[in-house]
Structure 1
Amino acid sequence: MDLHVLELFCRIVESGSFSKAANAMYLTQPTVSGHIKKLEKEIGVRLLDRLGHRAIPTKAGDLLYSYAKRMLALRQETQQAIDEFKGGLKGTLIFGASTIPGGYLLPPLIGPFRACYPDITIVLKVSDSKQIIDAVIEGVYEVGAVGAQFEDSRLEYRVFAEDEMILIVPPAHPWASRRSVKAKELLGQPFFLRERGSGTRKILEQALERRHLSIGAFTVIGEMGSNEAIRQAAKAGGGIAIISKLAVASDINCGELHGIPIADLKLTRPFYLITHRHRSRSPICNAFLTFIGTTSRPHDSHRT
């Protein structure tokens, strides 16, 4: 298989469009269509369904996509190894991060890293922890940054930062002047939660379980897919929430939210860099891990 054609196929899957893939690869749309027809003929199955202006991968297309991404990653790794042998590192590192490391911890490190490696481009993708973990397992990202561990023997976890989660309430809330609350007091309050699959929610669930409590007993008035949504909802006065202190530090400093410790809940958590245990890492990935200082012993994926 031609790697150039596989890259083109991946672009179509990711953009959902022949024309967008053609523009990205500086090709005409008829040329793109011709390459895909030849690829489908070579493999012997239909890879893409054309639904109006959308291109949707078939099951065979999904299968090819997962392997094609690995092949393209290996091509990049090969080029990086040759560049390193010749005395320099250049290329692109694509990694994924959940919302707190992706929004607050990693961006300040990109500039200093590029000062050391000016020929490396960093592409940071932000989504929830479960999606990042799945992408690392599938080989879409070489490295990810998440705020919770999920049991999977294929993953290797390295601690690189710590965080504290706190209860936030709006200034008009009766608890705004309190120094602390107890976990059981949370049950009767209107509550905003992060979505299932987020590291924030997983840590909260584990902390409650240790106190023989459950999120199921909360009065949940909304589940939200980002810390920004939680912040804005709490600031509007609709309810309370538990969120990373990093995400609301500016709101607390200017008095738009009040942060309150929960006396009987341990809500500190480490953040981890994750890699695939059984895949070799590219020189760029190794340089990034070394730069961040992840020289500590890897954590087992089944520890919590």
Structure 2
Amino acid sequence: MKAQRAVWGDTLTELARTDDRIVVVDGDLATSTMAVTFAEAHPDRFVQAGIAEQNMVGIAFGMSTLGYRPWLSSFGVFLTNRALDQVRMLVSQTKAPVRLAAAYTGLLNGASGKTHQDIEDLSVMRALPNMTVLAPADETEAAAMIRWAADHDGPVYLRLARDAVADVFDGSYAFRIGAPVLLRDSSDGEGNGREAGTGPDVTVVSTGVQTSRTVEAITAVEADGHRVRHVHLPTIKPLDEDALWVLLDGAAQVVTVEEHNVVGGLGDVVAAVLAGHASGARLHKVGLADSWAESGPNDFLLDKYGLSVERVADRIRAVLGERVAA
């Protein structure tokens, strides 16, 4: 397993060997975001802007007007909050081909302090017109997204986690922008005394690295005898809503799971699709319940905010009506 930030540094370094348009503008965090890998290989195309995120965006925009394809390298919280005005005005409104490589996103940055956690970035970025918003599940998907983004002619926000997670995909995976990914559907076959084709007991939708933990949680729920359909959304925006609806159609219970505030993130994306088709499904959002997080170790934070493997499994079981220990 490799951390997504390391995948970004390695993949971009490789791509830059044959694409001299690729440049990186860093906010004095190269050894954390792994932009240092790119800097060592391509020092003539690496700009150290210092702790000046607003200026970083201006520099990247200026370079994009000269034919370069710049990547911004910093913690997600600085790109989506401190530099938001510049991202909005210079990148989103002009459709500039600037890529925001947002490292250390989500809940699991508590060791750096709660000020550095970014649990509202998806809602902020998806609200910006022209912005593509990507949240990879693991290192394989991260690499595929980076390659896609390198050729995309427009703004991209790429949500990267600090730490490695268990693999979800193998080398056969092919990323398609906007497409939901069906990871499993145990309702397709017979089992547990039920006929094939009767549909899942619950449909679970997840995104980003939380998908890796959700895979494990669903394995535990299926061991109880339940049929579960699991959908991963790698693209928050743009989204092929018709393709997602095909996977949601007929579901009585839908659970969304995200390492993000439940306001404005994945849950609201799925809610809009269900509402648009007048679905009678009941939606349950698992994530931070409109609250700020706190400093602390990863395992503690995941458990406290209901995102550990065990807590997600418990929440799904509760939706299915089983008695769950408090």
TM range (shorter): 0.3 to 0.5
Bigger share in helix: 1
**In terms of Rg, which structure is larger?**
1
Q: TM-score, normalised by structure 1?
A: 0.35
Question: Which structure exhibits the higher relative contact order, with contacts defined as CA atoms closer than 8 Å and separated by 6 or more residues?
Answer: 1
